[in-house]
Amino acid sequence: DTEVTQTPKHLVMGMTNKKSLKCEQHMGHRAMYWYKQKAKKPPELMFVYSYEKLSINESVPSRFSPECPNSSLLNLHLHALQPEDSALYLCASSPDRNSGNTIYFGEGSWLTVV
Amino acid sequence: DAKTTQPTSMDCAEGRAANLPCNHSTISGNEYVYWYRQIHSQGPQYIIHGLKNNETNEMASLIITEDRKSSTLILPHATLRDTAVYYCIVRVAEYGNKLVFGAGTILRVKS
């Protein structure tokens, strides 16, 4: 089982709303990732968590706030977003951050900011 | 950050082998080569990875040159469902082993 589950699959939010994207894996993985993908572009790394601690933040604006409440869950809290933040948000996980360990992706959450 | 070069697009006839090249001339000795693909509107799908030796699994084969400066992903019998963007990625130790996507190759399988 290499399943990473993301909810919701689609989200429409206003610029003043607060919402969250959720990601779950039950593979015992200790590294989890958030990527952002704009249309016709490759995925871009946003955050990396390792053993529930934030280890990489790719200079992401503070309106995106990640949270890793336990080893199976990863959230991305959204507040005061802009229309240009509309994108596919991908969650991924791997056993740990060693380069020989495969990273598995979820199907993503489509976010539209209006 | 991407350390790889891939052709922008390729076509392949259905049922034939698809050979997707990737150049990674600055790869270091302990850096893995990964291949993912992304079918429209879906999350990236892991295909295969390797360090030095050639690798094969149920999806594909990965051929890495002896000097490790290039590799080829082989889909032995391409089907229409293999039409996707294929990403060749080197995980760089100095960048924390991040998975950094380049532009990838658009593979179109045609009947």
pLDDT per residue over B91-103, tens digit each? 987 778 889 999 9
Tell me if A99 and B91 make a contact (CB, 8 A cut-off).
yes
Q: Specify the pLDDT at position A56.
A: 94
Strand ranges for chain B from DSSP E: 9-13, 18-23, 33-38, 45-50, 55-56, 61-64, 70-75, 84-90, 105-110
- B34 CB-side CA count, 13 A: 24
Give how far the C-alpha of residue A77 lies from the chain's centroid of Cα atoms, to the nearest Å. Answer: 10
pLDDT tens across A10-30, in order? 999 999 999 999 999 999 999
Q: Specify the pLDDT at position B1.
A: 55
Element (H, E) at A89: strand A87-94
Q: What is the mean pLDDT of residues B19-45?
A: 93
Chain B: residue nearest A88 by CA? B41
Q: What is the mean pLDDT of residues A80-85?
A: 97
Q: What is the mean pLDDT of residues B1-18?
A: 92
The partner residue sitting opposite B32, judged by closest CB among A88, A99, A104, is A99
Q: What is the mean pLDDT of residues A41-55?
A: 96
Q: Specify the pLDDT at position B40.
A: 87
